[in-house]
Structure 1
Amino acid sequence: MTDSFQYRALFLSDIHLGTRGCQAEMLLDFLREYDAEYIYLVGDIFDGWRLRKGWYWPQSHNDVVQKILRKGRKGSKIIYVPGNHDEVMRNYLGTHFGGIDVKEKDIYTALSGEKFLIIHGDQFDMVVMNAKWLAYLGDWAYETILKINTSVNRIKRLWGGQYWSLSRWAKHKVKSAVNFIGDYEAVLSSEAEKADVNGIICGHIHHPAMHDVNGIKYINTGDWVESCTAVIEHLDGTFELIEWSKVTRLRTEARSSKKMQLVAGGRQTKTV
């Protein structure tokens, strides 16, 4: 079956459909180019927390859902591992609908033979587990930052600028955030070791990563709010973390450069 696909596996998480911060158009562009035999939706695909407060579901969000379902109809095996924002889907664990299997977690065997634990990761976030009110407060603060970020990017686009994430920048600069990310990676890598697998693929903290932690392959798919990232397994068994916002930026720059060269070439021809 793999021969009919461009890639062996595709891993997506933290899309947060139903929020204004969701970069649905960018995700649609990505999905138009990437097909895989296995597609893992690693939690927070839609945001039930936000939708309960107010309905927001533009056509682009519906297009994302339809695009994923269409991939299932074309033969992709789709596994949905719910997260905390779409935790309502945990009421349907073990069910199959629309070509999608809903599971609490899964073990994925890569082409190399290595096994990966697939899990969203909120189960190991003490704030989410033990102080949900604080998680909701954090969600409100995060949404506020995203609103600021949306305004900044709207202004940047008017001047030909590219997508930039304020919250992602802050994660790299604020010491407590950096420490939390490090602790999170260590805890999840330890869980993978307990499961007797070679690695773990997760989401939840909106921080894409692919490296070894204490001998365990730690892969975080990132998100489609801040990072616009996904993970793919190529047909040769190698894994790649794709930052789609960077890909689109490089393509735009390449097109602009080519256009400038053509214009310059035309000027030179006229001069001669």
Structure 2
Amino acid sequence: MSNPVSVRTLFVSDIHLGTRDCQAELLARLLRRVRPERLYLVGDIVDLIAMQKRAILPPAQQRLVARLLRLARSGCEIIYIPGNHDAAFRRLSGLKVHRVRIERRMVHETVDGRRLLISHGDEFDTHVRIAPWMLALGDGMHQFVLALNRWCNRGRRLFGMPYWSLAAALKRRSGAARRYVMQFEQAALHQAAREGLDGYVGGHIHNAGFRARDGVLYCNDGDWVEHCTALMENHHGGLQLIDWQGELIEREPPMASAPLPEQVELPMAGRAS
């Protein structure tokens, strides 16, 4: 195998170690292709909520954890920002565990001097109003779709086909999911603007992408359950979304001049994992 490509910073989130849906092998494959100087683990890395019901840590997930710890020992700066599924680790903020630094949130400065707020994103859940019955329905449908996703990709592997996210394809067709994402992005952009920062990086909603409004950049690095994507900063400060093979998905957009829209609260039909 060729030597890994050096990158300045890599952002990954929503790995959900401890669950059947964690795509640990694909993330390990990416980490063999790219070598970051700094790695942000942007929440829901370990799914402590799911592990209360049933803990699953197969060999592929154990190897991924070992690889991350080797990266830390070899000089890669790893910063772990816990999310809502691993919120118990927030009590360790400010500490280092096995050379992994744990923080509640961070401000990252890119090579070209931009300052980006980094958090998991669950703090923006309060901007979304969801009826209890819709919440329960959304959770049930999400688990059903993830189960379909597992079976779909087992079949694809039998025919030598690469990973493909059925769950992501179905989400793209959902108007309610698109409205949820729009409101989440809007809340994150407003928060970065209020703090006088140039942008925001997070995860939480399992929807990778960029948005730019009024000189503020929104970046979501995706997840390693459905989409298998990461956000990468190159040595010139450019930000790119890449997939599990290290292939480019999307570059950051130019800054838009349109002002941020006023925040509104919409009834939504789903929520983030």
* TM-score category of the 2 structures, normalised to the smaller one: 0.7 to 0.9
Corresponding residue number in structure 2 for 1:177: 177
Distance 1:101 1:177 in 2: 33
* 1:17 Cα deviation from its structure 2 partner: 0.8
1:161 and 2:161 aligned: yes
- Unaligned stretches of 5+ residues in structure 1: 249-272
For residues 24 and 192 of structure 1, do their structure 2 counterparts lie closer, same or farther at Cα, with a shift above 3 Å needed?
Answer: same
The superposition leaves residues 164-198 of structure 1 with CA deviations (integer Å, 9 ceiling, x where unpaired) of: 22221122111111111111101101000111110
Aligned-partner Cα distance in 1 for 2:49–2:217: 31
CA distance in 1, matches of 2:135, 2:108: 30
Cα deviation digits, residues 125-145 of structure 1 (max 9, x gap): 138999899767644432221
What do you get for the CA RMSD once the two structures are aligned? Answer: 2.3
Distance 1:137 1:79, change over 3 A: farther
Task: Name the % identity.
Answer: 38
Distance in 1 separating the partners of 2:137 and 2:22: 19
8 A Cα contact 2:29 2:244, kept in partner: no
Q: 1:214 to 1:179 in 2, by over 3 A?
A: farther
Contact 2:230–2:241, Cα closer than 8 Å, also in 1: yes
Match of 2:97 in 1: 97
Q: What SS class does the counterpart of residue 176 from structure 2 fall into?
A: helix
Partner of 1:26: 26
Structure 2 equivalent of residue 147 of structure 1: 147
Say which SS state the counterpart of residue 51 (structure 2) adopts: helix
Which ranges of structure 2 fall in alignment gaps of 5 or more residues?
Answer: 249-273
**Residue 71 (structure 1) shift:** 0.7
Asked if residue 88 in structure 1 is aligned to residue 91 in structure 2, the reply is no
1:25-174 matches, within 5 Å, as 25-126=25-126, 138-174=138-174
Kept in 2, the 8 Å contact 1:16–1:45? The answer is yes
Q: Secondary structure at the match of 1:72?
A: helix
Q: Tell me if the contact between 1:123 and 1:129 (Cα under 8 Å) persists in the aligned partners.
A: no
- The offset of 1:77, in angstroms, is 1.1
Q: Would the alpha carbon gap of residues 114 and 166 (structure 1) be closer, same or farther in structure 2, given more than 3 Å must change?
A: same
SS across alignment from 1:230:
strand
CA distance in structure 2 between the aligned counterparts of 1:7 and 1:66, rounded to whole angstroms: 21
The CA deviation string for residues 189-218 of structure 1, in whole angstroms up to 9 with x for no partner, is 100011111000000001001231343111
* Distance in 1 of aligned mates of 2:131 and 2:89: 21
Amino acid at match of 1:157: R
Larger radius of gyration: 1
| 2:14 matched residue in structure 1 | 14
Report the secondary structure of 1:6's partner residue.
Answer: strand
8 Å CA contact 1:105–1:119 kept in 2: the answer is yes
CA–CA distance in 2 between the matches of 1:140 and 1:128?
A: 19
Whichever structure has more helix as a proportion of its residues is 1
Q: How many residues align?
A: 244
Letter in structure 2 aligned against 1:103: E
Query: For 1:136 and 1:64, how far apart are their aligned partners in 2?
Result: 32
- How do 1:192-207 and structure 2 match up within 5 A? 192-207=192-207
Q: Which moved more, 1:130-139 or 1:74-83?
A: 130-139
